[in-house]
């Protein structure tokens, strides 16, 4: 093995739990909710200009209380809905447009749009990708 394969990669990181996040209220979370994970930030990888988090649910039967407050930021955001059995459903409110998306789906939130997602039911993972900014990175 050469040295390049054995040393810790600079650009690959493992996710870590992110207990708190701006605009999120994590109270009365159903047991189906798995811990929120932080996958990428400028603190984790130098120069990273994306802030990526995820939340998985396992066999969520009914929606929890809304735990993401409506908010907006000056950068766009994208949600990826991934589900091993396509059972994951989320509702979104984006600038007054209310809809339900079922995995697999990608939901784009334009910069400045007021938005609030909520997981409704199913099994899967919601990945949030947001361009890093002082708002996104701060809590």
**Under DSSP, is residue 136 helix (H, G, I), strand (E, B) or coil?**
helix
Give the Cα separation of 61 and 132 in Å (integer).
Answer: 33
In whole angstroms, the minimum distance from the beta carbon of 116 to Zn ion comes to 8
Backbone dihedral angles phi then psi of residue 79, each to the nearest 5 degrees: -110, 135
Residue of closest CB approach to Zn ion:
77
83 binds Zn ion (CB under 5 A): no
77 binds Zn ion (CB under 5 A): yes
In whole angstroms, the minimum distance from the beta carbon of 83 to Zn ion comes to 21
Q: Give strand pairing partners of 5.
A: none
Number of residues that bind Zn ion (CB under 5 A): 1
53 binds Zn ion (CB under 5 A): no
Tokens 């998306």 belong to residue: 101
**Under DSSP, is residue 76 helix (H, G, I), strand (E, B) or coil?**
coil
67 binds Zn ion (CB under 5 A): no
- Using CB under 5 A, list all residues that contact Zn ion: 77
């Amino acid at each position: 093995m050469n040295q390049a394969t054995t040393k810790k990669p600079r650009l690959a990181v493992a996710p870590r739990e992110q207990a708190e996040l701006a605009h999120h209220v994590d109270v009365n979370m159903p047991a189906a909710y798995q811990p929120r994970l932080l996958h990428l930030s400028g603190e984790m990888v130098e120069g990273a200009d994306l802030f990526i988090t995820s939340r998985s649910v396992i066999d969520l039967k009914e929606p929890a209380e809304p735990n993401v407050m409506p908010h907006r930021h000056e950068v766009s955001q994208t949600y990826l809905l991934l589900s091993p059995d396509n059972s994951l459903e989320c509702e979104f409110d984006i600038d007054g447009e209310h809809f339900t998306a079922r995995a697999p789906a990608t939901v784009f939130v334009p910069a400045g749009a007021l938005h609030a997602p909520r997981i409704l039911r199913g099994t899967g993972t919601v990945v949030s990708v947001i361009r890093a900014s002082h708002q996104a990175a701060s809590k």
